Copies of this chain bind each other. A is one copy, B any other.
Amino acid sequence: MPQGEGGGRVGFPFVGIPSFLGSAICTDLDSLDADIAVLGAPTDEGSPFMPGSRFGARSIREHSLRFVTDGRGYYDPRARRRFLEREMVEGRIADVGDADVLPTNVVDTFANITALTRGVIERGAMPVALGGDHAITYPVVRAFEGEEPFHVVHFDAHIDYMPFVHGLEFTSYVSVDIDVLDMSLIPGCVSAEPDGMSYAELRDAMLAVAERTRVIGLDLVEVNPLLDVRTGLTSYLAAHIVVESLGRICDQPWWRERR
């Protein structure tokens, strides 16, 4: 243990190999023992305009480190309390790396994404998939086939119905296309649109889903770090919504009972 006096690392976010929230990296699923498992799906072959979201998962991981200063969860200044404290202190979050990608071979790439997601589910962890482009939602969702029926809650700028969901009492899968946010917030998202949601609107909708349904999975897509502004605002915002969503999911009674 070479670092510092008294043991603890300070952990500034520019230090270290970036796994999601600085969690342990576990690429051998047979040994996975976690409540939440983050996986990357770094493919953007379906991009209809500018590509590059294949680098999204890597960059979201990097910006997720900004929420980990002492390894004891993250502090929410609005709620004035910590979230994810137990999960981070007890190491209940794991990063299982990326599904392997075979350029020009969508079938096998998607099979890899499904297999990795399925492996996570079978080990009893909730999968959190980071894209990649919006196409990855399909191979992630089909990994849940055979599980109990569930709803897919989809946040996306390009679908012609309301993103907000209420009154659910069932399990859901939540899929977030970062382009649901207003284009002013996501300069590194090629499919950004005007008149999008504010961050507060997306957060509140996510929290409502977390409180009213049993969330069994989460994905977030369409972050393009190659084209983002230099400060990485889009990746940071993506990490922000994932971390905040996980915090609220893990704060539900059913989650605490599940442990």
Contact = CB atoms under 8 A, between A and B. Distances in A.
A185 interface: yes
Contacts of A182: 184
Interface in A210-232: 224, 226-231
Interface of A is mostly: loop
A226 B194 CA distance: 21
Given A61-B17, A230-B226, A183 B116 contact: no
Contacts of A195: 198-200, 203
Given A46-B103, A160-B80, A226-B230, A2 B98 contact: no
Interface in A155-185: 158, 160, 182-185
A68 to B, nearest CB: 12
A239 B42 CA distance: 22
A158 B119 CA distance: 37
A173 B8 CA distance: 30
A152 interface: no
Contacts of A115: 2-3
B51 A52 contact: yes
A13 B190 CA distance: 12
A119 B2 CA distance: 7
Nearest to A234: B231
Interface residues of A, number: 83
Contact of A2 (B4, B99, B104): B99
Nearest to A14: B54
A87 interface: no
A218 to B, nearest CB: 18
A203 B187 CA distance: 21
Question: Ordered nearest first, which 5 A-B pairs have the shortest CB separation?
Answer: A194-B199, A2-B115, A184-B184, A227-B230, A51-B51
Interface of A: 1-5, 9-19, 25, 28-29, 40, 42, 44-52, 54-55, 58, 61-62, 66, 77, 80, 95, 97-104, 106, 108, 111-112, 115-116, 118-119, 158, 160, 182-185, 187-190, 192, 194-195, 198-200, 203, 224, 226-231, 233, 236-237, 240
